[in-house]
A = this chain, B = another copy of it.
Amino acid sequence: MTDTTDPAASPSPTAPPPARAAAPPAAAARVHLDNGGAAVLHPLARQALVQALDDGWADPRRLHTEGRRAARLLDGAREAVAGIIGARTEEVRFTASHVAALHAGVLGTAQARRRAGGDVVVGATERSAVLHAASAAADAHRGSRVTVGVDRHGRVDLETFRAAVARSGVAVAALQHANGEVGTRQPLDAAHEAARAAGVPLLVDAGASLGHDGAPDAWDLLAAQPTDWGGPAGVGVLAVRQRVRTAPPGPEDPDPWAPGGVSVPAAFAAAVALQAAVADRVAQDARRRALVERVRGAVATLPDVEVVGDPDDRLPHVVTFSCLYVDGEALVTELDRAGFAVGSGSACTSGTLEPSHVLAAMGVLTHGNVRIALDRSTSDEDVERFLAVLPGAVGRVRAMLGVEGL
């Protein structure tokens, strides 16, 4: 029996975290440019989440009034997401996270189609969760992960993809709608056509695009990421067309795609945020594309800096560049000190120091990588201020490493 410990003596999570006092002086004017996969919570999502703590706190599987009310909120959220992605409500499931949706989509389809074979076809720039799930599924069914290469912009080689799905023994294929790290769109319609011709279900990762770009309709399974469009953490989306056979990968559960169920308030807030993002998507599109153009142009003038990703056929809000002779973590830290939160390296392992597998697959510089993803709240002035401090930050990091220039 250990709960006789005086709770007041143990560190209280209600107290402000001690290190907040050590925040840099520039904290008041901070600019968040690291919105890819971790956007600022949309104000309407925040409001919806708080409201749903009152209306949707109960377990939606219980039979009483409170349970049924929570179930209705959850169904409403599924219906709203379904309407936006062009699916039926019953085809949409909430999962515990975007990664969980990708894992379940790959593993569940591979399991259901194991008689067709054990191979899983993926693009080389899919996010790590897809690559790892593909390897796990292939291992489980004595197949191979077949990784299709990309060009210098990160676009998958269509002929190789076509040939890969057309071979016998393929259980499932996965291709992203657009790459979240460099912004490049994939040739989804043609890839889906090839997969359909081969009778292979295609899982589309729309985790970096939904809410920012038009929703794709060329998919058999679709995964999407609420934290990318201003929704809360702790919830993901997996849509599966009714014609696709899948088998949830874990132990039996009343909610096998999200064992134990999801947070109703989180799912509700995710749907509200998506509706809000879609409602002003077109207006945001031109504005954010112009800001990205401005960044691309300015950054390209810096010495030994390479802007990566397709210059035209891309997401409206993402721009990534790599700086020779610079350590990515050091540059993120230097920009953080100057008041700017940016991403670095692979979107999925940005907290680690591993070089980005996306940039490596593209054959471009993996050094000193910075990814900017603009929020709808990002202003022209934010971008101009960032461009004003960037050369100095790169120069300081290079100077620490003894590199001249800038």
Q: Which residues of A come within 8 Å of B, CB atoms?
A: 1-5, 7, 10-14, 17, 19-20, 23-24, 27, 30, 32, 34, 37-38, 40-41, 44, 46, 48-50, 53, 55, 57-69, 72-73, 76-77, 79-80, 83-86, 96-100, 103, 107, 128-129, 132-133, 135-136, 214-217, 227, 232-236, 249-254, 258-266, 268, 271-272, 275, 278-279, 281, 329, 332-333, 335-336, 341-344, 348-352
Contacts and interface: CB of A to CB of B under 8 A. Distances in A.
Contacts of A351: 59-63, 67, 254
Contacts of A2: 84-86, 214-215, 217
B96 A97 contact: yes
A72 B7 contact: no
4 shortest A-B CB distances, which residue pairs?
A97-B260, A99-B260, A234-B263, A61-B351
Name, among A14, A30, A68, the residue most crowded by chain B CB atoms within 10 Å (CB to CB): A14
Given A62-B38, A64-B341, A103 B233 contact: no
B254 A352 contact: yes
Nearest to A335: B64
Nearest to A281: B3
A63 B332 contact: yes
Nearest to A15: B76
Instruction: Tell me the number of copies of this protein.
Output: 2
Contacts of A215: 1-3
Given A2-B215, A17-B76, A27-B65, A103 B251 contact: yes
Contacts of A37: 59
Contacts of A250: 103, 136, 249
Name, among A37, A260, A350, the residue most crowded by chain B CB atoms within 10 Å (CB to CB): A260
B17 A97 contact: no
A263 B266 contact: yes
Name, among A62, A65, A129, A232, the residue most crowded by chain B CB atoms within 10 Å (CB to CB): A65
A103 B251 CA distance: 7
B64 A214 contact: no
B76 A11 contact: yes
A96 B65 contact: no
A49 B44 contact: no
A155 B128 CA distance: 45
A43 to B, nearest CB: 11
A13 B344 CA distance: 35
27 contacts: A4-B214, A7-B278, A12-B80, A13-B268, A13-B271, A14-B44, A14-B48, A17-B72, A20-B69, A27-B65, A30-B66, A34-B67, A41-B53, A46-B53, A50-B53, A57-B232, A57-B233, A59-B227, A59-B351, A62-B341, A64-B332, A99-B261, A135-B251, A136-B252, A233-B264, A234-B235, A234-B266
